[in-house]
Structure formats: structure tokens, C-alpha cells
Amino acid sequence: MTVLLYLLAILLSAFVGGSLFKLIKQPPVVGYLLAGTVLGFFFGNSTGHEAVGFLAELGIVLLLFTLGLEFSFSRMGRMLKVALIGAVVQIILTIWIQTLVMLLLNIDFFQALFMSAAFSLSSTAIVVKLLGDRGEIDSLPGEIMVTWLVVQDLAVLPLLILLPLLGKAFLQGESLATSFTALFQQLSLIALFLTGFLVFGKKIIPVLVNRIAALNNRELLLVGVFTVAIAGALFTQFLGLTAALGAFLAGLLISESAQQQAVFSEIRPLRDIFSLLFFATLGFLLPPGFLFANLGLILVLTLSVLLIKFCVVFFLTAYLGYHPKTTFIVGVGLIEVGEFAFILANVGVKTNVISQNTYGLILAVALLSILMMPPLFLAAPVFYRRLRERYKHVLKPVYLLLFPSELANRPDTDLPYQNHVVLCGYGRVGRYIGLALQMAQIPFVVIEYNHHTSQELHQSGIEVVYGDPADIDILDYAQVDKARAVVIAIPDLHTQQQVIANSLKLNQDILIYCRSHHEEHQKHLKNLGVTAIVQPEFEAALSITDKILRVFGTKPKDIEGKILRLKIEHGLG
């Protein structure tokens, strides 16, 4: 089969699969994965597999590059502590517990250890795709997960080196003393090179991108940043790390330049096409017939992996001081096995430290967990709400013991507020709204489930309630029944729906203002009783329109008319 025909079959099947899942309101990425799995049964290792595999690898590189563009060093710094502590401990605990489970299933010790190490990593590509589609990369759970995943990606290198060494020691009786000395030296050298790359790159790359942008040529800008992304990928690949990590670091460096948004808009179409190929071709890696021949063991291993990873991540995040809702969402988001499990499995087979059966088990469990995670992640806020309601009434003492309740240390007296604003969420949007209310001397109460943010607000003298704004008890304590308005500055649709419903239960006359990144959600939110919906991207477009029309001498009255027409077209007139 020719490469072009092979490529056509993948794109067509991915389009059909993605469209079907979009119709049933599920992430299209699940459709891509299923389409690739089905095609794998028919094509196997046909000619053209390598060429399409290269394009798929390019997709993961571009996906991580654009993630770096959307992130920044300051955001990475805020989450680095939780990610370093959480990710490292999570990998160790997951390997230990999962190995014990596999030993109970009569799996050989080293084969169990190798599989557990592969299963301890989560999928950066899947999580980033889901968060990006939902507009939640900048949410608290999103920031925790992305930084956590970056640390996991860094852990791939020691695993790639350590596991073959251990395998040879167990299988061939080789000494590890000399090998571990060489390992330490190699890791130290890599750390030095990465530090140099970041230090010098931070000074050079933003300036270079700004110079390229000054040429005022879109093609040159695209070629220039694409070259930087590939150079970063090659650099980390040369060090023995993953190419995707280098692309992420390159994007992180370019995010410091003034051309961040322009670069993102140019790269995004390429990223979407190539990342689609990556997701679709994952199914091709599974040996034909292996899934059905070992279905029972695969299901047991998959369920144990999902449960162990959820529990470990959940309790680690809770231990680090985050709200139960955040810990639950992060726990669900990191349950799947990552794409780097495929790389580890491939290295294990090539170095003869794992059997073909172990190789097939790693691929099958990884693929099945990736297929199961997206619908679970989308339903996580609903699951959390139902579980919380159940545990709060049935096992309230246990709930209060595990998690310091937002009501536990709260005074019994009501807050001395009325005719005020209840501001749900104090992130990038909520922070500016709060500042404006302060300048206008309008009383307001913030509801925030980021414990660190709530402490900062309390220390600065701003009235804050720590807890989940979707909880009617929290809204009641914030005096929604006496408030003039509620502002929902949280992007999560499920939380928005609960806040709206509970606010109207407490106060039928309350004014509700809500942000939304998706046009398809606006009509639904309006029907729920929202007074006004603000789409940040659309408001930015109106502001730019007003400014550019003034530059061209358009009369203020005409500008108002045109902006009104845009609002009518958008459904806000």
C-alpha cells in the first residue's frame, strides 16, 4: 500500500470517528483512537506505516510546542513545587503498588516492575488536547496537571536508562555498580546541558523571533518558529530525552517574546492535522489478535492501573493542600497510561529485557486506558458533586477527617454583607473584576477553591470564602440570598451550571454574569437564567474593532452601530 493511500485511509477514518463522537458530545480524540485501532486490524504493518509514524511523531512535537507557547516560566514556577513533589512520589508509589498487584497475578517480578514503570506515566498529549478543547489549560487543575506531566516527561530519561540496566542484572547477572556510576554522570551532564539551553535560550530565542517578525512576512515567521521547534526537539533527542520535551521548552522560550499569539495562530493548523495522525496511529502499534487472546488479563491490569493512579494522585494532591474538587479532577485526569509507555516498551523489546507478551500487555493497557479516560474526565465534575453529596450526608465524619472542610473553621455568624457582589473564582479574569470592584468601592466576596489564592486574599484584606462555588452551602455562607449579583469567572461548564442553579435557589432576583469560551454554551447558559454572558475572545474582538475604526476616522456613532451589528450577529444584541 502506498504512503498516500495509507494516509488517506487514516485521515478518512479519523474524520468519521471524530465526527461520530462529536455528535454524541464526546471528545473527537476518542474517535481518532478507535478509528486507528480498527484500521490496525486490517493494515497491520503495511508499507507506509513508517512514513505515517514519522508524521505522527511530528504531531506530538507540535502539540507540545504549542503547549509551551501557551505556558510561561511564571506559571511553571507557581506549580513546580506541587509537580516535583507530587509527580516524583506518584511515580514511585505507582510502581511499587502496581508491582505488588502484578505479583499477585503470578507475573514475573522484573516483567511486573517494567510494566509498572511504563504504567506510572500519564498522557501529556491526551490531557493537553482535552484541556485545550475545553478552554481549561489556565484553570487550577489544568495548571497542576500540565506541570505534573512535564515532570513525568523528564522522568522518562532515567527510566529509559535504568530499566534496561536492571533487566540485565536480573536476567544476565551483570553488576550494577559500574552502570549506576555511568548513569549518574550521564544524568548530571544532561541536566547541565538543559540548564544551559534554558539560560541562553531565554536571552536569544525571544530576540530572534522578534527580529524574524520584524520582516513582516508570515511565511518567514512560520518557517522560523518551526525551525526553532524542530531544533529544540533535536537537542533533547540528542541528549537521550524525548523530542516532545525539547519542543515544549522551545515553545516556553518563545512565549517570552512579543510574537507569542501570532506564532500560535500560525502553528495551530499544522499541529491539529499532525496530532490527529498521532492519535489515530496509536492503534496500529497493538499486535493483531493480541487484545482478544488476553482480554481478561488486560481488563484486570487496566482497571488496577486506573484505580491505583487515581488514589495515589488524589491523596498526594490533597496532602499538598488542594481542595477536594481539585484533587478529584486532577486524579481523574492523570489515570491513563501515557504515550511514552510505547517508547519504554519498544526499548524493552530491543534490549531483550521484556518478552513479546509483556510488550503486548503494555500497549494494550495503555491504549485501553487512553480510550477510557476522556469520557471519565469530562464527567469528573458531575461524579465529584454526586460523591460529595453522598459522603457529606452518609459519612460526614470520615469526610471531615480526610479533608479539612471549608465549613470547619468558619465562624457561626453570617458575613456582614448585603447588596454586594459574589465573585466566583479569582484567576486571570476574576482578579481584574475584583480590582475594578475595589476601585469602585463596591462590596464583594470572593469564593475560591485554590487554598493558596484564598490565603493570599485573606492576608490582603479581601473577604474570601474557601470552598467550591458550586456548593449551595458555600453560596449561602457568601450571602447570595442578600447579594445584588453573582459573577462566575470560572471556565468549567459543569461548575457554572451548578452555581447558576444554586444561586437562583437562594435568590430568584439575583443578577448572574458568566464567562464562556464556547459559543455553543451561550444559549444553554442563557436558558438557565444568566443575565449576561461574556465571551473573552469576542469582547477582545469588539475592543480591537473600536480602536481600528477610530484610526481610520470612522465616526463614533457609526462605530457604535457596527459594534451593535456584531453583537446581534453574535446573538447578544
| pLDDT value, residue 134 | 74
The yes-or-no verdict on residue 248 having pLDDT over 80 is: no
- The sheet with strand 464-466 has its strands ordered as 464-466, 444-448, 421-424, 485-488, 511-515, 532-534
Q: Quick one: CA torsion of 49, 52, 58, 62, rounded to 10 degrees?
A: -130
Angle between helices 140-172 and 324-333 (to 10 degrees): 50
The yes-or-no verdict on residue 261 having pLDDT over 70 is: no
Q: Please report which confidence band the pLDDT of residue 406 belongs to, taking 50, 70 and 90 as the band edges.
A: very low
| Average pLDDT score over residue span 336-347 | 79
The yes-or-no verdict on residue 263 having pLDDT over 80 is: no
Q: What is the pLDDT of residues 439-489, one digit of tens each?
A: 888 999 999 887 778 888 888 888 888 888 888 888 888 889 889 999 998
The yes-or-no verdict on residue 47 having pLDDT over 60 is: no
| pLDDT value, residue 407 | 44
Using an 8 Å Cβ cutoff, are 209 and 254 in contact? yes
CA distance 123 to 149: 8
| pLDDT value, residue 299 | 93
Three state DSSP letters for 82-120? HHHHHHHHHHHHHHHHHHHHHHHCCCCHHHHHHHHHHHC
Comparison of pLDDT for 407 and 151, the residue scoring more: 151
CA distance 500 to 515: 12
CA distance 134 to 242: 27
Comparison of pLDDT for 427 and 120, the residue scoring more: 120
Please tell me which of 34-38, 143-147, 186-190, 506-510 the model is most confident about, judged by mean pLDDT: 506-510
| pLDDT value, residue 405 | 44
Please tell me which of 21-25, 27-31, 53-57, 417-421 the model is most confident about, judged by mean pLDDT: 417-421
What does the chain come to in residues? 573
CA distance 343 to 347: 6
CA distance 47 to 45: 7
Smallest CA-to-CA distance from 463 within 410, 530, 404 is with 410
Q: Please report which confidence band the pLDDT of residue 186 belongs to, taking 50, 70 and 90 as the band edges.
A: low
The yes-or-no verdict on residue 2 having pLDDT over 80 is: no
Q: What is the pLDDT of residues 214-233, one digit of tens each?
A: 777 777 877 888 888 888 88
| pLDDT value, residue 310 | 95
The yes-or-no verdict on residue 409 having pLDDT over 50 is: no
Name residue 317's amino acid: T
Q: Please report which confidence band the pLDDT of residue 74 belongs to, taking 50, 70 and 90 as the band edges.
A: low
Look up residue 531 and give its DSSP letter: S
Smallest CA-to-CA distance from 481 within 497, 498, 502, 464 is with 502
**How much is the mean pLDDT over the chain?**
78
Comparison of pLDDT for 307 and 531, the residue scoring more: 307
Using an 8 Å Cβ cutoff, are 349 and 359 in contact? yes
35: Cβ–Cβ under 8 A, 6 or more apart, which residues?
A: 10, 13, 14, 16, 17, 18, 280, 283
| Average pLDDT score over residue span 539-553 | 81
The yes-or-no verdict on residue 22 having pLDDT over 70 is: yes
- Give the whole-number percent of the chain exceeding pLDDT 70: 79
Q: Which domains does the chain have, with CATH numbers?
A: 54-124+131-273+293-384 (1.20.1530.20), 421-534 (3.40.50.720)
1: Cβ–Cβ under 8 A, 6 or more apart, which residues?
A: 43, 46, 47, 48
Q: Quick one: CA torsion of 568, 491, 143, 56, rounded to 10 degrees?
A: -60
| Average pLDDT score over residue span 256-271 | 66
Please tell me which of 164-178, 246-260, 336-350 the model is most confident about, judged by mean pLDDT: 336-350
The yes-or-no verdict on residue 287 having pLDDT over 80 is: no
> What is the pTM for the complete model shown?
0.69
| pLDDT value, residue 185 | 66
